[in-house]
A = this chain, B = another copy of it.
Amino acid sequence: MNSDPRQDLIHAATQFYQLGWMVGTAGNLSAKLPDGSFWITASGKSKGQLTENDFVRVSPDGEVLESPHPQNRPSAETSIHQTLYSLFPDANACYHVHSIEANLVSRFTEKDNLPLPPLEMLKGLGVWTENPEVVMPVFKNYLEVPRIAAEIGDRFKLSPPDVPALLIVYHGVTVWADSPEKAKNYLEIAEYIFRYIVASHQLSL
């Protein structure tokens, strides 16, 4: 991680945009600084061509500390990032994107969880058992984002997730990791698994 993580976020956003995971102005990426504040993409920006000016720096409780442009507003989903940094103190990056496949698999939820297939790729999410049976937590979508964040906090305090990723119904995937590089790896693997699940259902496997 660079001392200013915005370059990591810009590179990741460019790649995710090209993959179709951040079309329109959808999604938001953040990375934490040593003082606990975090840079997060500003609201309403095209993610394929971000600059360092398209971010705001936010305190752990959501106060805007620094804004390269006066009109920048933090992403509407900032409260979810806050909640995840609070729940997982080792997390230094949090990525949220809206792939088509993430939205499709959110429809295959069983008891607020998505069952994951026993792919070798799960090792990349930290699952090192033979024939693993793990799930990804799924949350309801609300227009009022802090309500989603509150449900994430309530649930994860009681039962931590099997993998560092969560889904919101019709509203994409979010991963967190101890570095931007690992967050990118986790997201790639999560999306890979979603595409595998979609194809499996198409094939009635």
Contacts and interface: CB of A to CB of B under 8 A. Distances in A.
B198 A120 contact: no
Contacts of A192: 20, 23-24, 98, 100
**How many copies of this kind of chain does the complex include?**
4
Nearest to A141: B120
A20 B191 CA distance: 10
A171 interface: yes
A185 B46 contact: yes
A199 B200 contact: no
A108 to B, nearest CB: 9
B143 A185 contact: no
Interface residues of A, number: 45
Contacts of A107: 200, 203, 205
A120 B98 contact: yes
A157 interface: no
A184 B142 CA distance: 27
B124 A188 contact: no
A185 B107 CA distance: 26
A181 interface: yes
A26 B121 contact: yes
A107 B103 CA distance: 22
13 contacts: A23-B185, A24-B124, A24-B188, A46-B181, A100-B199, A104-B205, A107-B203, A118-B170, A120-B141, A120-B168, A120-B171, A202-B202, A202-B203
